Amino acid sequence: MGAIFKPTPWEVDQLVSGVQKGSISLPDLQRPFVWPATKVRDLFDSMYRGYPVGELMFWDVAATGESRAISGLGQVEAVHQIVDGQQRLTSLYAAMKGLKVRDESYREKSVMISFNPFTEKFDVRTPALARSPQWIEDISTVFASAIDARYAFLDRLRGSQEVSREAERAVETAISKLDGLRKYSFQVVHIQSDVAKRTVADIFVRINSEGVSLKAYDYILTWLSVFWPDGREAIENFARFSRVTPERASEIAGHRVDWTPKNPFLAIDTGHVVRATVAVGQNRARLTDAYAALQAKDRTTGVIDAERQERELNLLQKGLPIVTDRVNWTEFIHAIQTAGFRSHKGVTSNTNLVSSYVIFLLGRTRYGVGLPKLRSLVARWMFMSQMTSRYTGSGESQLQKDLDIFGALDSDDSAGFERIVKQTVATSLTSDFWTFNVPQLLVTSSVALSPVYQCYLAALNILNADMFMLRMPVRDWMDPTLPVVKGLEGHHLFPRAYQEKVLDINDTKRINQVANFAPTDWDTNIRISDRPPADYWPGLLAERGGDPEWVKRQFYWHALPEGWESMPYDDFLEARRTLISDVIRDAFGVLSTGESTAPTPPVDIPEAGSEVLTLQELLTRGALRPGDLLDPIDPDWQVDAVVSEDGTIVIDGTHVFDSLDDASRFLGVTNVSGFEFWALERDGGLASLAELVANHD
């Protein structure tokens, strides 16, 4: 065989033209673009100054079915598939052509870079730069027509100041130099078309793991790019469509889409799909083991077993359609709703969801369990898993144990599957667990992130409970299809101000113990005000407690100890934690009998809710400013985060994130958005971002 590589210089114009015509098979702009805008800015700045910006690598082979011309105007068959440099090439194409890309949530965003011809400085476009006559708002106008861009800039500049001939020459020189980036030369390393696929796969993985921390599923996705590109595309589409309604999916995909896996619980990413596919297909939970099996390389000799590699690929090819099946996914969502959960806020671990989906798929496709029974069994499994944090920490190890236990059954052994589920639940949720563990697990102020407290809210949903002293079902308060209303939220039973001023309790963690919260409305909270329970409780009873049976149920649902209003605060917390455990246990008992009457909402939810703004929108509105210190809204978290001058979030001085969501996900938070998770640190405590927006507006 000849040389594996052949280096060739490509000018930027050639690269952009190749992408536009389709000869360069760059994954299209519908895929997530993960570079922060500041890196795009730095790329153009380095090119402008003549600095090297790294090589690109192409695989010279047609990539049928894998990638499309990102312009959508593919005029020729793709002959170059990009191996290394996707983000740089996407940056060039999008910024020079003025195109939008999509972020990790598949929302459109602009990659707009501004340029100052006088200082020859690049920056990310902001409203301030757009208003300034000293700046070209969008460099794509220069690449569209340098002459028109120069005239437009000078005309606008003359409207604000005198422009000397010397200044005009400086502008002309800078804009010409910027336009000259078309001729900037990239060194492109070509992998020849006759190179074996296994060699190309090895190169893919090695190149894409350099300088970054790849997750285990990235290696599998990269391997699939070579050996099963259609499979990778199917994985990415399933993840993509989970973020959008069918209408938006059609818009994004460019073709008609009748259904999407959008749901109230999980914004699916490719890693979730890979994990489920590997578990169902290869019966493996550890992705590193799954990847090693796909490589099929002898540890001693390094020789690849082609037959074994083909067998492992076939297992994935059989597993993926099961994972992405419409009925399977929809019925699993119904099982989670049966467990009392209503939205992603109630599910504190995405790994728990994905692992429970795997168990569901095993029961449905391997062991032939009927759907009504399977929904009930998986609802219990999911509830148990969250209560015990079953897949938190060593999630892969635990899932592998579960796969091995179920794997001992014969195919279609539905009774055996049911027996294992019931035995596992019984040995996990023992009497001692309910009596001792649950009250201890409720010693926390992490309302949103406490698995047990979120199970308590799910339990109230299972029991068809009303809100605290309000004839409104808790399930309506938790309904993900309704807008989030300030008037419906959790409130302190022992008011914060009362604790601080009267009880002399100033420890935020102690004040905000989850056992001090109850779901009610804003009107009830106003009536409570800053008064002690012994003061406001008799009035609430007199006004709203005309039905003794309903009041009795209120005491039960909301775990109120007898005489709670007169108890010392710490005694109240201790007693209520025990009663909350009893309520959860009772609800789980109802779940185990399959008699829950909690309604099932539709799977496809509308884009509803209170306004959630991006980091850039908050900066544009002035609600946040560079230098602001951010903290998690939950006081149990200790994190140093700051808004940088570049409009990013920097955690612990080293980790840089382009969005609020990315910064919160870095900390492992998945059940609330970054907008809800972060708060501004200021004198006197923390202000939620929603408060900042409301006060600023």
Rounded distance, CA 374 to CA 695, Å? 49
The full DSSP string for 166-210 is: HHHHHHHHHHHHHHGGGGPEEEEEEEPTTS-HHHHHHHHHHHHHT
Q: Which residues of 105-121 are buried (b: 16+ CB within 10 A; e: fewer)?
A: bbeebbbbbbbebeeee
DSSP bridge pairs for 108: 102
Lowest mean pLDDT segment, chosen from 162-166, 243-247, 302-306, 586-590: 243-247
Mean per-residue pLDDT, 399-423 = 97
Q: Please determine, for residue 568, whether its predicted confidence score (pLDDT) is greater than 80.
A: yes
Residue 2: pLDDT band with limits 50, 70, 90: low
Least confident span in 80-89, 94-103, 123-132, 196-205: 196-205
The C-alpha atoms of residue 376 and residue 399 are separated, in whole angstroms, by 20
Least confident window among 34-43, 196-205, 394-403 = 196-205
In whole angstroms, how large is the CA radius of gyration of the chain? 29
Going from the C-alpha of 635 to that of each of 128, 444, 649, the distances in angstroms are: 35, 10, 19
> Is a pLDDT exceeding 60 seen at residue 169?
yes
> pLDDT tens, 309-357?
999 999 999 999 999 999 999 999 999 999 999 999 899 999 999 999 9
For residue 516, give the DSSP letter: G
Side chain identity, residue 28: D
Output 213 or 251, whichever has higher pLDDT: 251
Q: Is 591 left (phi over 0), alpha (psi -120 to 50) or beta?
A: alpha
Pairwise CA distance, residues 278 & 260, whole Å: 22
Q: CA separation (Å) from 335 to 383, 473, 619?
A: 10, 21, 41
Q: Which residue has the higher pLDDT, 94 or 253?
A: 94
Report pLDDT digits (tens) over 443-479. 999 888 899 999 999 999 999 999 999 999 998 888 7
Output the six-digit token pair for 302: 């390094």
Question: What is the model's pLDDT at position 613?
Answer: 77
Q: Which of 633, 654, 634 is nearest to 642 (CA)?
A: 654
The reported pTM is: 0.81
| Residue 31, pLDDT score | 57
Residues 6+ apart with CB under 8 A from 22: 68, 69, 71, 73, 74, 75, 76, 77, 78
**597 confidence band (pLDDT: 50, 70, 90):** very low
Q: What is the mean pLDDT of the chain?
A: 87
pLDDT tens-digit series, residues 148-164: 999 999 999 999 999 99
CA 287/CA 381 separation, integer angstroms: 23
Q: How far apart are CA 296 and CA 282, in angstroms?
A: 13
pLDDT(596) > 60: no
Helix 229-241 and helix 216-227, axial crossing angle in degrees, nearest 10: 130
Q: Token match 């570049």: residue?
A: 646
pLDDT for 158: 94
Burial class, 132, CB count within 10 angstroms (exposed 0-12 / middle 13-18 / buried 19+):
middle
Helix (H) or strand (E) holding 387: helix 371-388
When pLDDT is cut at 50, 70 and 90, the band that residue 488 belongs to is: very low
- For residue 122, the one-letter residue type is F
Those residues whose C-beta lies under 8 Å from the C-beta of residue 120, and which sit 6 or more positions away, are 48, 174, 177
Residue 4 near residue 192, CB atoms below 8 Å: yes
Which stretch of 52-66, 132-146, 291-305 has the lowest confidence by average pLDDT?
52-66
> What pLDDT, on a 0 to 100 scale, did the predictor assign at position 484?
52
Provide the percentage of residues in the chain whose pLDDT is more than 70: 88
CB under 8 Å to 177, separation ≥6 — which residues? 48, 120
The Cβ of residue 207 has, within 10 Å, a number of other Cβ atoms equal to 17
What is the identity of the amino acid at 619? Answer: L
Least confident of 369-373, 579-583, 664-668: 664-668
